[in-house]
Amino acid sequence: MTTPLRKDAARNWDRIVAVARALIDQGTPLQLNDVAGRAGVGVGTVYRHFATPEALLETVATPCLEALVDHGRQALTGADPWRALECFLFRTVEAQVADASLSPVAAAATDALPRTTQLKEALRSVGTALLGRARDAGAVRPDLTSADLVPLMCGIAYAVHVHGGTPADRIDTAHRYLATLLEGLHATPEHA
Amino acid sequence: MTTPLRKDAARNWDRIVAVARALIDQGTPLQLNDVAGRAGVGVGTVYRHFATPEALLETVATPCLEALVDHGRQALTGADPWRALECFLFRTVEAQVADASLSPVAAAATDALPRTTQLKEALRSVGTALLGRARDAGAVRPDLTSADLVPLMCGIAYAVHVHGGTPADRIDTAHRYLATLLEGLHATPEHA
Amino acid sequence: MTTPLRKDAARNWDRIVAVARALIDQGTPLQLNDVAGRAGVGVGTVYRHFATPEALLETVATPCLEALVDHGRQALTGADPWRALECFLFRTVEAQVADASLSPVAAAATDALPRTTQLKEALRSVGTALLGRARDAGAVRPDLTSADLVPLMCGIAYAVHVHGGTPADRIDTAHRYLATLLEGLHATPEHA
Amino acid sequence: MTTPLRKDAARNWDRIVAVARALIDQGTPLQLNDVAGRAGVGVGTVYRHFATPEALLETVATPCLEALVDHGRQALTGADPWRALECFLFRTVEAQVADASLSPVAAAATDALPRTTQLKEALRSVGTALLGRARDAGAVRPDLTSADLVPLMCGIAYAVHVHGGTPADRIDTAHRYLATLLEGLHATPEHA
DNA sequence: CATGAATGAGCCTTCATTCAT
DNA sequence: AATGAATGAAGGCTCATTCAT
């Protein structure tokens, strides 16, 4: 797809992405000059590889988005439609809580990289499919649309963020919050 | 509590806050120089009244926080504990969706003004009381603690934000999302 | 017209303009950061007074433009229309040769300061009047329009610049070149 | 003179010059990286062929300079010395107006390529010869020296540039301006 | 108290040039 | 020879904050 990079270029690319990863994990805002300094490369090198901070952020987020899409596709093969949706949403929230690069990418209205647009589209489409199966099985509130999935997952992740705590706590909180929401999403007798 | 301001100082204070309110409503970032210019006062005057941008933001948010606390206290007098909690949470989310000054204040770990700390504390305590009554009535999930209320409301508001749409749409979305979450929060047979 | 500046602000304004004047005379490009450094003021101060390098350049050029306009208006009162035009054009070229700030301002299609636009307009209008009088007296080539005056004067000044030499040489060259051109502009028997 | 290039090197050379030509015609500043990209060659290749942007610019201008020299030499064989000079100067101005690569090369005090220096020298010498013949015939102002020809032609071209207009307008303006100047250059009774 | 001029750190971005591959 | 990745100096601009008037 993309032309393979020269060996030295690839090394710099890796360094830059690794530095960005670390900065994001620390919550430090991504500044390309700063990234360059920490990666031990010139500013120009960073700009050559990543035209904007968003492009770098999305690059950092890409593997995680890919994993989510893969997982969602596998979930589609599961027997229990509700279970499959539930499982997909858990993964989605966990990923956002564990990886700070995802939330801003998920919430952004426009993408810097085409690859990101593809992945977000793929994610939406997997979500739509999982939701459709669950709805057909009568397992889900009828007023929930596929356009709500991403916002709700972002909201849960944000709630976890506001709650705070150690990384381990956050995972726990995420599970509790999502479980609660899912209970509300699940079709109940009164919707029958 | 605070020394009453001289009449002209009070007029400046009002102008500054009004300008800040307008900027926040437009989504323009609060820059004190900019606020000063628009309010027709010097930068120094803005700094005299508001040591930091956060202090100004919190000042803008204050009336709304006060209204929420008041409403919560009234809700405490209601007969149906679950209804009261529900109603309080609706107000909380609606306020955040309608007033962009609230979310950052609610999510901030530290406050610029003591008054803000008081109000946030009061809000938490009303929430705790409402939740306690509802829990005593067996109306809520047992794993929900009062430390979860604020994060969850912030999360819902954030989800609404990510979903997007016109102001009217947002109110609608907020209602749907909160109704869904509340269904999950409400005690169900399996918790009984 | 303009609010009078505070004493300290006026001092900085003067310093900045003086530095700019010197840089222009040396042929150094005007860079606001650089000007700030040399004037011993902060960058922000320069930006406060002059939003762009062009604004600073035009400010430096203003007194000279004003003097040209004044001179042109006096020339209009002279008895001999051709002499008056000639005299005005000599001054115009001399000014450009002596003051490097003028050429770029004269040649620019758009102005940074309204004052500059006024002055350029005034200059054009004086030129038009002088040319009109000379044409009415049958003293000038009929194919010359007032829209040609500024370009031709800029051209002469540029020719002097390309020729080079010491400042004194340049004045001399300017006189020779303009005298030559004027001979061509002057109505001759064959136009009669 | 120069070692003949390998065939592929020659192809690159041609591409680079063609791209530079196009950029100059559009008024886009010549940036070697940019040129390389558009020519589909590496930056290093551009640098191998042209050590500096000026060298590339001069290379682009070379054919036109050569044509001017040729034309001037032919003019020297003409019968009417004044006519010959006139004709040469018209060509010179037309060329500058039509080809944006010439003015900066003509006005530059130092050249990047020896070939450019030769050509400019040749041009000056042809001009000197043409002027000498015209002066001997008593056809030109006695105070005009051959060192004035290039500056005056640059000045006319610059005046045309300041006047502006479409390419066709410019040719027209150039003719008018030069005709006017030539009238001034031509010997008149008072010089006799 | 009010004013608003001044400050300057901080961030962003471009581009001529070098040099490893 | 050709390539194009890397470099980093250079310049631009903003904005929170201070302080003389």
Q: Which amino acid is at C145?
A: T
> What digits encode the pLDDT tens for the residues C79-110?
999 999 999 999 999 999 999 999 999 999 99
Q: Residue D189 above 70 pLDDT?
A: no
Residue where a domain stops, chosen among D32, D50, D68 = D50
Residue D57 tokens, joined: 């610019």
| 35-94 of chain D touching strand F, CB 7 A cut-off | 36, 40-45, 47-49
Q: Residue B143 above 90 pLDDT?
A: yes
Using the CA of D46, give the nucleotide whose C1' is nearest. Answer: F2
A/B interface, count of CB pairs below 8 Å: 92
Q: What are the Cα distances from residue D172, in Å, to A89, D64, D90, D169, D176? A: 73, 20, 12, 5, 6
Whether residue D12 is contained in a domain is answered as yes
* CB proximity list for A113: less than 8 A, separation 6 or greater: A55, A58, A59, A62
- Whether residues C98 and C173 share a domain: the answer is yes
Phi, psi (rounded to 5 degrees) for C16: -60, -45
- Residues in B closer than 8 angstroms to A179, CB to CB, are 184
Integer Cα distance of D77 and D63 in angstroms: 22
In this prediction, residue C191 carries a pLDDT of 47
Whether residue B136 is contained in a domain is answered as yes
In C44-137, at which residue ranges do the beta strands (DSSP E only) sit?
none
Answer yes or no: do B152 and A177 touch at CB < 8 A.
yes
Could you count the other beta carbons within 10 Å of the beta carbon of residue A29? 8
Domain count, chain A: 2
Three-state DSSP class for residue A186: strand
DSSP for residue B186: B
Note down the domain range covering A150. 60-185
- Whether residues C82 and C147 share a domain: the answer is yes
In this prediction, residue B191 carries a pLDDT of 46
Whether residue A190 is contained in a domain is answered as no
> What digits encode the pLDDT tens for the residues D24-81?
999 999 999 999 999 999 999 999 999 999 999 999 999 999 999 999 999 999 999 9
Q: Which of the four pLDDT bands, split at 50, 70 and 90, describes residue B10? A: confident
Q: Indicate the helix (H) or strand (E) that contains A91.
A: helix A81-98
In this prediction, residue A2 carries a pLDDT of 52
Q: Residue D152 above 50 pLDDT?
A: yes
One-letter-per-residue 3-state SS of D32-97? HHHHHHHHCCCHHHHHHHCCCHHHHHHHHHHHHHHHHHHHHHHHCCCCCHHHHHHHHHHHHHHHHH
Residue A49, CB-side half-sphere exposure with 13 Å CA sphere: 27
Stated in angstroms, how far is A124 CA from E21 C1'? 43
b/e burial code for range D85-108 (CB count within 10 A of at least 16 → b): bbbbbbbbbbbbbebbbbbebbbe
In this prediction, residue C144 carries a pLDDT of 94
Q: What one-character-per-residue DSSP string does B136-160 give?
A: HTT-B-TT--GGGHHHHHHHHHHHH
DSSP for residue B189: G
> What digits encode the pLDDT tens for the residues D91-104?
999 999 999 999 99
Q: Counting Cβ atoms within 10 Å, is residue D190 exposed (0-12), middle (13-18) or buried (19+)?
A: exposed
In this prediction, residue D66 carries a pLDDT of 98
Question: Least CB-CB distance to C163: which of D143, D148, D181?
Answer: D148
Answer yes or no: do A162 and B106 touch at CB < 8 A.
yes
- Whether residues D102 and D177 share a domain: the answer is yes
Q: Which of the four pLDDT bands, split at 50, 70 and 90, describes residue B8? A: confident
* CB proximity list for B61: less than 8 A, separation 6 or greater: B99, B101, B102, B105, B116
Percentage of chain D modeled with pLDDT above 90: 89
Mean pLDDT for chain D? Answer: 92
- Residues in A closer than 8 angstroms to B161, CB to CB, are 151
Instruction: Work out the minimum CA distance from C28 to partner chain D, whole angstroms.
Output: 17
Sign of the CA dihedral with A38 first, then A44, A47, and A49 last:
negative
Q: Counting Cβ atoms within 10 Å, is residue B34 exposed (0-12), middle (13-18) or buried (19+)?
A: middle
- Whether residues D76 and D46 share a domain: the answer is no
- Whether residues D46 and D136 share a domain: the answer is no
Residue A149 tokens, joined: 């999935």
In this prediction, residue A192 carries a pLDDT of 43
- Whether residues D23 and D112 share a domain: the answer is no
Q: Indicate the helix (H) or strand (E) that contains B26.
A: helix B7-26
Q: What is the mean pLDDT of each run of 10 residues along chain C (192 residues)?
A: 70 96 94 96 96 96 98 96 96 96 94 96 97 95 94 97 94 97 80 45
Whether residue C190 is contained in a domain is answered as no
Residue where a domain stops, chosen among A9, A30, A50 = A50
Integer Cα distance of C61 and C51 in angstroms: 16
In this prediction, residue D191 carries a pLDDT of 46
Whether residue A3 is contained in a domain is answered as yes
| 24-53 of chain A touching strand F, CB 7 A cut-off | 40-45, 47-49
Whether residue B191 is contained in a domain is answered as no
Q: What are the Cα distances from residue C58, in Å, to B158, D10, D163? A: 50, 48, 20
In 3D, which of C96, C97, C31 has the Cα closest to residue C105? C96
What is the average per-residue pLDDT within A179-183? 96
Q: Say yes or no: Cβ of B7 under 7 A from any atom of strand E.
A: no
Q: Is the pTM value of this prediction over 0.85?
A: yes
Instruction: Work out the minimum CA distance from B178 to partner chain A, whole angstroms.
Output: 9
Integer Cα distance of A19 and A25 in angstroms: 10
Tell me the CATH number at D127. 1.10.357.10
Integer Cα distance of B156 and B176 in angstroms: 10
Q: Residue A124 above 80 pLDDT?
A: yes
- Whether residues D88 and D165 share a domain: the answer is yes
Minimum-distance residue to E8 (CA–C1'): C42
- Whether residues A156 and A75 share a domain: the answer is yes
Q: Residue A96 above 60 pLDDT?
A: yes
> What digits encode the pLDDT tens for the residues A66-75?
999 999 999 9
Answer yes or no: do C188 and D184 touch at CB < 8 A.
no
- Residues in A closer than 8 angstroms to B184, CB to CB, are 179-185
Tell me the CATH number at D11. 1.10.10
In this prediction, residue D3 carries a pLDDT of 60
- Whether residues B69 and B149 share a domain: the answer is yes
Answer yes or no: do D159 and C158 touch at CB < 8 A.
yes
Q: Indicate the helix (H) or strand (E) that contains D180.
A: helix D167-185
> What digits encode the pLDDT tens for the residues B46-66?
999 999 999 999 999 999 999
Q: Which of the four pLDDT bands, split at 50, 70 and 90, describes residue A178? A: very high
- Whether residues D147 and D101 share a domain: the answer is yes
- Residues A71, A95: contact at Cβ < 8 Å? no
- Residues in A closer than 8 angstroms to B162, CB to CB, are 106-107, 150-151, 154-155
- Residues in A closer than 8 angstroms to B144, CB to CB, are 180
Q: Residue D192 above 50 pLDDT?
A: no
Answer yes or no: do D176 and C109 touch at CB < 8 A.
no
In this prediction, residue B114 carries a pLDDT of 94
- Whether residues A97 and A146 share a domain: the answer is yes
Whether residue D76 is contained in a domain is answered as yes
Q: Counting Cβ atoms within 10 Å, is residue A85 exposed (0-12), middle (13-18) or buried (19+)?
A: buried
In this prediction, residue D139 carries a pLDDT of 94
Using the CA of A13, give the nucleotide whose C1' is nearest. Answer: F5
In this prediction, residue D188 carries a pLDDT of 62
- Whether residues A68 and A33 share a domain: the answer is no
Question: Least CB-CB distance to A141: which of B107, B163, B180?
Answer: B180
What is the average per-residue pLDDT within D130-152? 95
Whether residue C90 is contained in a domain is answered as yes
